């Protein structure tokens, strides 16, 4: 029973992150925050899985490096979007414009 609770927490966190990502589609910042929450839950699941199998944690460190790079890329897109359009609403700009 305890093992089920141990493994269900990251899966529950992942599902809540997906639900928040689907429901917040107006602002880019809220979508980026929910994506980072999903990455955090996946990191927790990966870390628990690697500890369960008694592997080294080098792959989890690589996962963290790539997730930090993804976060920095998302923030740079957010800053450039705010500089060009003035806000982070998805409805305020058209994708067909150049």
Query: What is the pTM assigned to this prediction?
Result: 0.81
Judge whether 14 and 42 are in contact, CB under 8 Å.
Answer: yes
Domain boundaries, the chain: 2-85
Residue 97 has pLDDT above 70, yes or no: no
Q: What is the pLDDT at residue 18?
A: 93
Inter-CA distances, 41 with 9, 11, 76, 87, 91, Å: 9, 7, 23, 29, 29
Which ranges in the chain belong to alpha helices (H)?
Answer: 2-23, 28-52, 58-85
**CATH of the domain spanning 2-85, picked from 3.40.1740.10, 1.10.287.3510, 3.30.470.20, 3.20.20.70:** 1.10.287.3510
pLDDT band at 1 (very low <50, low <70, confident <90, very high): low
Q: What is the pLDDT at residue 90?
A: 67
């Amino acid at each position: 029973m305890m093992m089920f609770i141990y493994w269900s927490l990251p899966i529950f966190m992942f599902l809540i992150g997906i639900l928040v990502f689907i429901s917040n589609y107006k602002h880019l910042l809220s979508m980026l925050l929910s994506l980072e929450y999903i990455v955090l839950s996946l990191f927790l699941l990966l870390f628990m899985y690697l500890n369960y199998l008694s592997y080294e944690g080098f792959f989890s460190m690589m996962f963290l490096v790539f997730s930090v790079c993804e976060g920095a890329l998302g923030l740079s897109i957010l800053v450039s979007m705010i500089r060009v359009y003035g806000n982070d609403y998805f409805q305020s700009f058209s994708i067909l414009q150049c």
